[in-house]
Every structure is written in C-alpha cells, then in structure tokens.
C-alpha cells in the first residue's frame, strides 16, 4: 500500500473522430528462436522442461505487466511438493485489453479510497492481505467488518482475509466459498483471482469505468508431484459485455423503456434528437447519434449555452477532444453550467456520460428537454 501520488484517469485507445471545430469556425525485443538441429529440436541438448516453462512464464508475464503488477519474486517461482500455482501465458500478459482492465481497476480503487489516503499501485502486492478490499467494502456498504486484530503471522493474515472474502461473496450473491477467488488464491497473489473479484465488485457498485468487452485470461496451472512439475492450461473470463454504468437506485421511466419498450424508446430518442438539433442548428451543428455524440461533452456544453441564450466561448472547454480526461473535463463543465441555471442535480454521473452510457445520456438530455421544451 502506498500513499504517494494519485493515479490519473486511464485514457482509452480510441480512433480519432472528426471534431466540430471546422463547422464552428465557419459559423464563428522479442528473443530469436534457437536454430533447430537436424532432428528438428531447438538449440540445447534437451527440450525445456515444464518447470522451465513455468519459470519463463512467470518472468516474462510479470515483466509485461510491470506497470501495474509486482516484480517477480523468487519464492513464487519454485514450487514445493504438492503446491499449485497459476501463471498468465505470455500472450495474455501482453494483452493490451487486460492491461486496460488493470489500469481502470487501479483508478477506481484510488478514487474510492482517496479520502482514506490509500493509493494502490500494484494489484497483487497491495491487495493480497485483504486490508484494502476490507476498506473498500466497508466504505461502499457502509458496514464494519469484524476481523481479528492485525496479525503478523501468515495464518492470522489468512484468517482475516477469509472473513473479508466471505463478506464480499455475500454482497455479490456468490457462494460462501468461491473457488475462483478463494482466500488462499488471493493470499498467494494470484493475479486472476484478484482481478476477477475486483471486476465483479466494480460492476456491482456501478463503478464509473467502462471495461473492454469479453476479456479473457489464458492461464497455466502448475503443480509439483513426485518432484515433477505438471501443467495444464485453462481460460478464465475476466469481463463480459458491460451493459450499464449508472448507479443502482429507484427505477424510473427510462429503466422501463430499456427493459420493455423498444418502440417507445425509439420515439423518445427521435423527440430528443429533434430537440437537440432545433437548437444546435442555430450554430450550423447537427447531431445524428445520441448514443455517442454527447460523450465528449462538446455538444452538451454548446447546447446548454444555447438553451440559456448565450454562446460558450470556445476557450472555456476542449473543442477538439484528444483524451478521456478532456472528455471528463468537458462534461464536468457542462454539469457546472446546468447547475448555474438552477437545474436539479442530474441522476447521471459525469463519468457515465464520458464513458458513453446510453441510459445516462438519455436521462440527462430528457432533463434538459423537460425544462426547455417550450423555448
């Protein structure tokens, strides 16, 4: 656990989309493979053993994720008799989508725990003892988890972690003992176990982050039996398709529309689109896609200004958005403008809009429509 600098919002690799500047200005070393011998065997007197493969996977996998995971520890490499360990394959360790999931989780943890002066830097090293998971659950659930006093012994740490993990499973509606992220696996600093638990917690609490869809981790499971290391491979699902970001709360008309009224939802979208374009057309702008064109905040800022009868100077916000941080700043600015008009506090969150959550975007536009529909 560290108490140094805060992490920045992780940026997302997105294709550059055309901005509105032109319209507005018109209006206003991988290693080489060893050579094969005459029998087709690669260099050396014998093939690499399973244990060599595990060692290589541990070293290369951790190196590939060194921005967010701990460096290799010797005690994690050598297996004791009967011991089982899991390692990411080299391909998975280099997966950019998986790295993005890690960055988003670290960002979320640091945002939630900032008021407790907790900064997470490495998921495995910082979370294996359960203290940070305990702090997170206590804050988000507004509970106190009764655990034994801090113990320096390994057995004491495991007992405390067991209670924390069982609490998380109860909150998530999982079995009391969930084998995918057991206390033993987390205490071993098992990457897959830690990240699977964190992703489910983030989704349960509607964290204001959007994970890449359908990320999987290919894992080598190694076990030492009778002095020999045996391995097999499994695939673990890390993320699926994230359908909604907004926090849980009292259901409203939009929840019903999304669940049961696709025809009515299409009609609402058409009405909101006409409302937005009625005002944006005044400055030669037009929206064609409500689902995506408001997430960078540009149209939102301009629309609020037009509804209030003024033009927002372009130097007050980022007109040509280049990063996720700039999206967030634009949407925050739009929320500030709405607050200044006396508009009720939106149910939608800034991060939900910037992450492109459709239901949150439509809720926000409908709030504007309700107040300004007669203008």
- The pLDDT value recorded for residue 267 is 86
Token couple for 26 = 């018109």
Question: Do the Cβ atoms of 202 and 108 come closer than 8 Å?
Answer: yes
pLDDT digits (tens, 9 = 90+) for 224-235: 888 888 889 999
Provide mean pLDDT across the span 339-361.
87
Q: Tell me, which fold does domain 44-237 have in CATH?
A: Actin-binding Protein, T-fimbrin; domain 1 (1.10.418)
Q: How far apart, in whole angstroms, are the C-alpha atoms of residue 229 and residue 52?
A: 9
- The pLDDT value recorded for residue 355 is 86
- Greater confidence (182 vs 19) lies with 182
Which helix H or strand E contains 101, and what residues bound it? helix 96-113
Q: Tell me, which fold does domain 253-372 have in CATH?
A: Actin-binding Protein, T-fimbrin; domain 1 (1.10.418)
In this model, does residue 76 exceed pLDDT 70? no
Query: In this structure, what are the phi and psi dihedrals at residue 18, rounded to the nearest 5 degrees?
Result: -60, 140
Q: How many CB atoms lie within 10 A of CB 62?
A: 20
Query: In this structure, what are the phi and psi dihedrals at residue 215, rounded to the nearest 5 degrees?
Result: -85, 135
Which helix H or strand E contains 257, and what residues bound it? helix 253-260
Query: In this structure, what are the phi and psi dihedrals at residue 237, rounded to the nearest 5 degrees?
Result: -80, 125
- The pLDDT value recorded for residue 8 is 55
What single string gives the DSSP state of each residue in 263-319? HHHHHHHHHHHHHHHHHHGGGT---S-TTTTTTTSHHHHHHHHHHTT-PPPGGGS-S
For the chain, domain boundaries? 44-237, 253-372
Region class of 117: left (phi > 0), else alpha (psi between -120 and 50), else beta: left
The fraction of the chain above a pLDDT of 70, given in percent, is 73
Q: How far apart, in whole angstroms, are the C-alpha atoms of residue 58 and residue 160?
A: 28
pLDDT digits (tens, 9 = 90+) for 50-75: 556 556 655 555 554 444 443 333 33
Q: How far apart, in whole angstroms, are the C-alpha atoms of residue 134 and residue 125?
A: 15
Q: How far apart, in whole angstroms, are the C-alpha atoms of residue 348 and residue 367?
A: 10
Q: How far apart, in whole angstroms, are the C-alpha atoms of residue 126 and residue 217?
A: 21
41 band by pLDDT with thresholds 50, 70 and 90: very low
Provide the edge-to-edge strand list for the sheet that holds 216-225.
84-88, 216-225, 228-237
Q: How far apart, in whole angstroms, are the C-alpha atoms of residue 368 and residue 303?
A: 9
In this model, does residue 272 exceed pLDDT 90? yes
Which helix H or strand E contains 192, and what residues bound it? helix 191-204
Q: Using alpha carbons, select from 136, 120, 297 the residue that is nearest to residue 207.
A: 136
Question: Do the Cβ atoms of 266 and 280 come closer than 8 Å?
Answer: no
Question: Do the Cβ atoms of 297 and 327 come closer than 8 Å?
Answer: yes
Our CA angle for 201, 138, 111, nearest 5°, is 60
In this model, does residue 344 exceed pLDDT 70? yes
The pTM of the full predicted model, rounded to 2 decimals, is: 0.59
Q: How far apart, in whole angstroms, are the C-alpha atoms of residue 67 and residue 99?
A: 9
Residues near 205 by beta carbon (within 8 Å), at least 6 away in sequence: 140, 247
- The pLDDT value recorded for residue 24 is 52
- The pLDDT value recorded for residue 375 is 84
pLDDT digits (tens, 9 = 90+) for 304-314: 999 999 989 98
């Amino acid at each position: 656990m560290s108490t140094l600098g805060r992490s920045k919002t992780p940026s997302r690799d997105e294709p550059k989309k055309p901005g509105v500047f032109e319209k507005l200005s018109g209006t206003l070393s991988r290693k080489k493979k060893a050579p094969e011998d005459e029998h087709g065997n690669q260099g050396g007197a014998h093939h690499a053993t399973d244990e060599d493969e595990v060692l290589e996977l541990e070293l290369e996998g951790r190196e590939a994720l060194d921005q967010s995971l701990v460096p290799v520890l010797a005690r994690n490499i050598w297996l004791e008799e009967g011991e089982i360990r899991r390692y990411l394959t080299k391909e998975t360790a280099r997966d950019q989508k998986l790295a993005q999931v890690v960055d988003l989780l670290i960002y979320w943890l640091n945002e939630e725990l900032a008021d407790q002066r907790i900064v997470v830097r490495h998921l495995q090293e910082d979370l294996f003892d359960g203290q940070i998971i305990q702090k997170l659950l206590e804050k988000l659930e507004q509970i106190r988890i009764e655990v034994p006093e801090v113990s320096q012994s390994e057995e004491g740490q495991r007992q405390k972690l067991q209670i924390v993990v069982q609490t998380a499973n109860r909150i998530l509606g999982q079995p009391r003992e969930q084998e995918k992220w057991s206390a033993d696996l987390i205490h071993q600093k098992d990457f897959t176990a830690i990240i699977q638990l964190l992703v489910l917690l983030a989704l349960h609490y509607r964290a204001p982050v959007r994970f890449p869809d359908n990320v999987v981790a290919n894992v080598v499971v190694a076990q030492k039996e009778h002095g020999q290391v045996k391995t097999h491979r499994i695939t673990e699902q890390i993320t699926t398709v994230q359908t909604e970001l907004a926090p849980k709360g009292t259901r409203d008309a939009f929840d019903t529309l999304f669940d049961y009224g696709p025809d009515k939802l299409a009609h609402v979208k058409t009405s909101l689109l006409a409302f937005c374009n009625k005002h944006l057309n005044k400055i030669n702008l037009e929206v064609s896609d409500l689902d995506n064109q408001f997430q960078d905040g540009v149209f939102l800022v301009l629309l609020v200004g037009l509804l209030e009868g003024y033009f927002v100077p372009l130097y007050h916000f980022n007109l040509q958005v280049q990063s996720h941080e700039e999206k967030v700043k634009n949407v925050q600015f739009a929320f500030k403008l709405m607050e200044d008009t006396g508009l009720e506090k939106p149910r939608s969150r800034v991060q939900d809009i910037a992450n492109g959550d459709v239901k949150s975007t439509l809720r926000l536009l409908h709030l504007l429509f309700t107040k300004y529909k007669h203008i």
